[in-house]
Structure 1
Amino acid sequence: MSTVTTRPADTAAPLPKGLKQRRLPSWAPLGIAVVSVAAAVGAGLLFGLQSKVQWGLIAALLFVAVSFALASAVEGRRQAKDRLATSLVWVCFLLAVVPLASLIWTTVGQGSKVLDGYFLSHSMAGLLDIQPGGGIYHAIIGTLEQVGLATLIAAPIGLLTAIYLVEYGKGTLAKAVTFFVDVMTGIPSIVAGLFILSFWLLMLGFDYSGFAGAMSLAILMMPVVVRSTEEMLKLVPNELREASLALGVPKWRTITKVVLPTAVGGITTGLVLAVARIAGETAPILLLVYGAPYINNNPFEGAQSSLPLYVYQQYVNGNAASYDRAWAAALVLIIFVMLLNLVARGIAHWKAPKAGH
């Protein structure tokens, strides 16, 4: 009987010397980046380029070109193409991050000048626009009430529409609903404001109010809720539905007791992101809420303010005091939207299935 000897799985035959491929060291990308930045700074100073953006573009081009050239000389054309694609991805990433970081840096630097407890707890009532002081308490109240009412309107409608499209929708009606949801997703916010203006204010004769602005925000929010909820419901395995129906459970009860609880994490995340999407809208609020320098706790009667509208109005005033207030309100709005996004990520992480369960 012949015996077959096998090499242990954890030992591998060494590659012949001629088959070993040369590779750039692991620190090569960082070194190339440092050299590219230094060369770009030197070129900018030598040729008198004043814009730091030009320096950055020169550094990016040098980084991509040098990475490709070195990889071609050392690793070969195939690896050089891979290095080229990786370099382009990093450059595009930095091109997207740098403006965002610059925006946050500028907003924090300018907005922190007047952002304090007094600014958050007072309104602009009885204060001239050219005078320092004042606050955004009335704008915070308006934003919370308008966004809250818009959520109460849009969330159930968007949720029920998504359930219809995924669980019941077939034929012409479902295709028509899907088409109009796609159309609503891309409409400018000013169109939603003009629709409510013509219908609610001009045709029905109601006055400016926070509720009118909330209705326009709800129009902008509904397609986002429908799309996010629809995608989350599609991720629920059909086996869960079939098992429930096989036990004789009615379809409506299967949806409420099986489908929705399974997708509740993703649905809640999409809802929070939709709230963050409408929190910074200015155009419909400018048309329908009109703005007020005093505190109005009733969103159904009289003009109100909001954070985006407050930023716009203070900037239009065109003096140093109003500019400071505009930057501070913009910083508060950014913090508010950032907190909503963090809440959405936290909900998604909390509801994500754990390994082993």
Structure 2
Amino acid sequence: MTSLVATSAARRRKDRVARAMLALGTGIALVPLGLILYYLLRKGLGAWSWHFFTTDPTGSFLGDPGGIRSAIVGTVVIVALAALMAVPLGVGVALYLTEFGRDGRLARGVRFLIDVMTGVPSIVFGLFIYISLVVTGIAGSFAGWKGSIALALLMLPVVARAAEVVLLLVPQSLREAAFALGAPRWKVVFSVVVPTALPGILTGTLLAVARAAGETAPLLFTAAIVNGTTLNLGDRMNSLPAQIFQDVGQAQDRLVARAWGAALALVAMILLLTLVARLLQKRNRLA
């Protein structure tokens, strides 16, 4: 009995030490994040105003620099088109891997390609679209839809991997019950599997969108930078990352302040998307 008590006390001490080390590591990891958020709030909040969000950049170095309306609109439009391209394709790839290909040779090859695409730097996707669509002059020069393609390539492996993980969590008993009722495989997939996994798929989609919204390099090579607001994806379009890139190196303090304000707006957008994704993920776990 004495030996068991001593062992239990030793385990409790080790548990407390381990918990303290984990708490310390978490605190150390949160310090840089807290400093970044503090610095962004300190530098960016001063630039926020109604004028800041409702006017376009003027291009003036000495006068009123304008706001970031065109950058916000361009970011939303470009990322929305990218999501329309990447999400159906990514979910389709995940459905093939989980419901049809499984452990086949083609499925293993597709998984390998997805893993490779996940590790490719975003600038490589931008250069690929730049060389294949911009330099060759297909449908004009720089255009918003070309930026959307670059971002869609970036989002595709994230959506596919997230959807595959969620689809694998759907209980096999649900599929077997549907098959026992005589439902064909395609109906089982779209009437049972996909609705069950939908909250998780939405979570992965929002995380992919949040990642794509903050990318700068692909848009610099494909959509370029303009001042005016436009909804025409066939023309050059502005975006928040590109606007920040252009303003932050300027010698004019008001342009640098606009860059900080745009950076804070971009972080707020991504934070909002991430929070929505986490809420959907929590709802999926509770269900």
1:124 alignment partner, SS class? coil
Match of 1:177 among 101, 107, 110: 110
Deviation at 1:203, TM superposition (A): 2.9
Counterpart CA distance in 1 for 2:242 and 2:152 is 17
User: 1:103-142 to 2 correspondence within 5 Å?
Assistant: 103-125=36-58, 127-142=59-74
Q: For the Cα contact (< 8 Å) 1:131–1:321, is it kept in 2?
A: no
Q: For the Cα contact (< 8 Å) 1:268–1:344, is it kept in 2?
A: yes
Q: For the Cα contact (< 8 Å) 1:190–1:284, is it kept in 2?
A: yes
Structure 1 residues 269, 203: CA separation in 2 closer, same or farther (over 3 Å shift)? same
Deviation at 1:296, TM superposition (A): 1.9
Q: For the Cα contact (< 8 Å) 1:192–1:220, is it kept in 2?
A: yes
Match of 2:15 among 52, 61, 82: 82
Asked whether 1:258 is paired with 2:215, we answer no
Deviation at 1:299, TM superposition (A): 1.5
Amino acid corresponding to residue 26 of structure 2 in structure 1: F
1:92 maps to 25
Structure 1 residues 204, 253: CA separation in 2 closer, same or farther (over 3 Å shift)? farther
Report which of the two structures shows the higher radius of gyration computed on alpha carbons.
Answer: 1
Deviation at 1:204, TM superposition (A): 4.8
Q: For the Cα contact (< 8 Å) 1:130–1:322, is it kept in 2?
A: no
Counterpart CA distance in 2 for 1:146 and 1:293 is 16
1:145 maps to 77
Match of 1:193 among 109, 120, 126: 126
168-177 or 323-332, which deviates more: 168-177
Structure 1 residues 80, 132: CA separation in 2 closer, same or farther (over 3 Å shift)? farther
1:203 alignment partner, SS class? coil
Structure 1 residues 245, 20: CA separation in 2 closer, same or farther (over 3 Å shift)? closer
Alpha-carbon deviations, 1:26-63, whole Å to 9, x = none?
A: xxxxxxxxxxxxxxxxxxxxxxxxxxxxxxxxxxxxxx
Deviation at 1:351, TM superposition (A): 3.9
2:281 maps to 348
1:332 maps to 265
1:128 alignment partner, SS class? coil
2:217 maps to 283
Match of 1:305 among 230, 238, 243: 238
TM-score, with length taken from structure 2 = 0.93
1:317 alignment partner, SS class? coil
Asked whether 1:233 is paired with 2:144, we answer no
Q: For the Cα contact (< 8 Å) 1:193–1:283, is it kept in 2?
A: yes
Determine which structure has greater relative contact order: mean sequence separation of CA pairs < 8 Å that are 6+ residues apart, divided by chain length.
Answer: 2
Q: For the Cα contact (< 8 Å) 2:65–2:255, is it kept in 1?
A: no
Counterpart CA distance in 2 for 1:351 and 1:86 is 28
Deviation at 1:179, TM superposition (A): 0.5
Match of 1:218 among 142, 152, 177: 152
Q: For the Cα contact (< 8 Å) 1:132–1:322, is it kept in 2?
A: no
Asked whether 1:159 is paired with 2:75, we answer no
1:11 maps to none
1:27 maps to none
Deviation at 1:202, TM superposition (A): 2.0
Deviation at 1:184, TM superposition (A): 0.2
Q: Which has a greater percent of helix?
A: 2
Counterpart CA distance in 1 for 2:34 and 2:62 is 31
Q: For the Cα contact (< 8 Å) 1:197–1:288, is it kept in 2?
A: yes
Q: For the Cα contact (< 8 Å) 1:114–1:325, is it kept in 2?
A: yes
Counterpart CA distance in 2 for 1:220 and 1:318 is 33
Counterpart CA distance in 2 for 1:338 and 1:284 is 21
Alpha-carbon deviations, 1:164-198, whole Å to 9, x = none?
A: 00000142211111100000001000000011111
Amino acid corresponding to residue 277 of structure 2 in structure 1: A
Amino acid corresponding to residue 216 of structure 2 in structure 1: T
341-350 or 115-124, which deviates more: 341-350
Q: Which consecutive residues of structure 1, in runs of 5 or more, have no partner in the other structure?
A: 1-14, 22-74
Counterpart CA distance in 2 for 1:223 and 1:85 is 35
Q: For the Cα contact (< 8 Å) 1:272–1:341, is it kept in 2?
A: yes
Pairwise CA RMSD of aligned residues?
2.1
Deviation at 1:115, TM superposition (A): 0.4
Alpha-carbon deviations, 1:66-109, whole Å to 9, x = none?
A: xxxxxxxxx97655443432222122111111111111111011
Counterpart CA distance in 1 for 2:22 and 2:285 is 29
Structure 1 residues 229, 290: CA separation in 2 closer, same or farther (over 3 Å shift)? same
Alpha-carbon deviations, 1:103-162, whole Å to 9, x = none?
A: 11110111011201110000113x413444410000001000100000000011001000
TM-score, with length taken from structure 1 = 0.75
User: Share of identical aligned residues, percent?
Assistant: 39
